[in-house]
Chain A
Amino acid sequence: MSVETSKQPAAAEDRPARLIHMAGVTKRFGEHTVLDGLDLSVRTGRHVTLIGPSGSGKTTILRLLMTLAEPDEGTITVDGQRLFPATEKEVREVRKKIGMVFQQFNLFPNMTVLRNITEAPVTVLGLDRDEAEARARELLELVGLGDKCGMRPSQLSGGQQQRVAIARALAMRPQVLLLDEVTSALDPELVAGVLDLLRDIARSTDITILAVTHEMNFARDISDQVLMFDAGRIIEAGPPEKIFSAPEHDRTREFLGAVL
């Protein structure tokens, strides 16, 4: 099933608006087919959530976009640049446009909170350190951790670490933010804070978001489009009102019945 996420049914400008494009993407791990001939387009500024049972291929999509994995078949294009194959330089340019927040935060434990955020802007974007630190402090204020600059990640709670990870991803001013089950590793009482922050970011910026999540309320709040995955395919897609209120597919109804 092919999915096009757009507000207008037939958008006039095609290329720059269609920020992410995947066609016929297949990914196998040994015998197991994780993605099965997937087609997916995401337009600039859209917020798309990927839902579905574990192992249905949602996270793999994010990992392919971040070039952490390679597809076995199919084409992937980000902002007009084809990946797989692409030169090292082209891949790096694409990576700069994409930020990713991981389930396990993956902060650098050997650096302070501030350094975690400034490392890439300084060494990749070439910002001078003062400028990068000023921006990092602003971002830490935004995520509610303005007082934690000098701390090590290990001194923070899981929720605080994840908020630092969000600030770290945003510090690169990406066009696309990939959120990979960002609250799954958190204690229940810390989930709300992180999701509220992401709601704010979704509302107040024009960043394109692809989020894999098991938080259905969050998906309902931030999404323009919800994609329901099952066994490596998108079995149903639509605006959250439709998917959550009037799902067409039996598997979707089943899945929502189990998680809601």
Chain B
Amino acid sequence: MTWDWNAVGDFMPHFWDGLLVTLQALALGSLLSFSLGLVWALLMRTPTRWVRWPVGVVTEFVRNTPLLVQLFFLFYVLPEWGLAFSALTTGIIAIGLHYSTYTMQVYRAGIEAVPVGQWEAATALSLSVRRTWTAVILPQAVRRVVPPLGNYAISMLKDTPILMTITVLEMLGRARLFSQQHFQFTEPVTVIGVAFIVISFLASLLLRTLERRLVR
């Protein structure tokens, strides 16, 4: 096996295209899972069983079926019912939805960790439900949820290559395409491997800075 720097050079333009798609999937997937997870967590706290029950069943179902199956379902089955999105959009929805069922548990734990005295003080001051959440509970929950949410973001990054299976040309998709056309596997696969490590590392640095800021 020989290492060919020319192959690396040839691959790089394709790599940048793939990187852009991977980062897009990561950023939007994270955003979706973070917001949807919060919505699930809040819905699970409503007093009505008729809200909690369906949300509980659906999220439990999504959490316990493979992401790949969900991805295929969204990409191949939904269009039969007239719901078709681009491959990348479908991938972002799948990742965001799948991980929202994990982030909801992060939010739940973060919310439950806020002492009951904080709720009581908010009640004693007649704060509205909305204000109690936005001014008192969630700001205190945030500092507790940032580290685990960050870990899920890194998990999502490592799950993005799965989008290749529905024709999304993210980094691994680009590498495979390049390999098939040039019969050079070592260089492109190594390049994207390094890229994953670098992104993860940068993300964890960002996360640590964020944590330090929130702890104050």
Contact = CB atoms under 8 A, between A and B. Distances in A.
B117 interface: yes
Q: Which secondary structure dominates chain B's binding surface? A: helix
A230 interface: no
B151 interface: no
Contacts of B121: 102, 106-108
Contact of B124 (A95, A104, A110, A119): A95
Given A102-B117, A104-B117, A109-B140, A169 B128 contact: no
Contacts of A111: 135
B142 to A, nearest CB: 9
Interface string B111-132: 0000101101101111110010
Given A68-B120, A104-B117, A119-B135, A168 B125 contact: yes
A107 to B, nearest CB: 7
Contacts of A169: 124-125
A106 B117 contact: yes
A66 B119 CA distance: 12
A66 B136 CA distance: 19
A172 B128 CA distance: 14
A95 B123 contact: yes
B193 interface: no
Nearest to A120: B125
A123 interface: yes
Interface residues of B, number: 16
A158 interface: no
Nearest to B141: A110
Given A102-B120, A104-B117, A124 B127 contact: yes
A106 B118 contact: yes
Given A110-B136, A110-B139, A110-B140, A119 B120 contact: no
Contacts of A98: 124
B126 A119 contact: no
A100 interface: yes
Q: Which of B115, B117, B125, B139 has the most CB of A within 10 A?
A: B125
Interface in A9-39: none
A253 interface: no
Interface string A88-129: 000010011011101010111111000000011001100000
Contacts of A110: 136, 139-140
B135 A123 contact: yes
A92 B121 CA distance: 14
Interface in B27-74: none
B12 to A, nearest CB: 46
Nearest to A94: B126
A67 interface: yes
A123 B136 contact: no
Given A102-B120, A106-B120, A123 B140 contact: no
Contacts of B115: 106
21 contacts: A66-B124, A68-B120, A92-B126, A95-B124, A99-B124, A102-B117, A104-B117, A106-B117, A108-B121, A108-B135, A110-B140, A111-B135, A119-B131, A123-B127, A123-B135, A124-B131, A168-B125, A169-B124, A169-B125, A172-B125, A172-B126
Given A124-B126, A169-B124, 15 more contacts: A66-B123, A66-B124, A67-B123, A99-B124, A102-B117, A102-B120, A102-B121, A106-B115, A106-B117, A106-B118, A107-B121, A110-B139, A123-B135, A172-B125, A172-B126
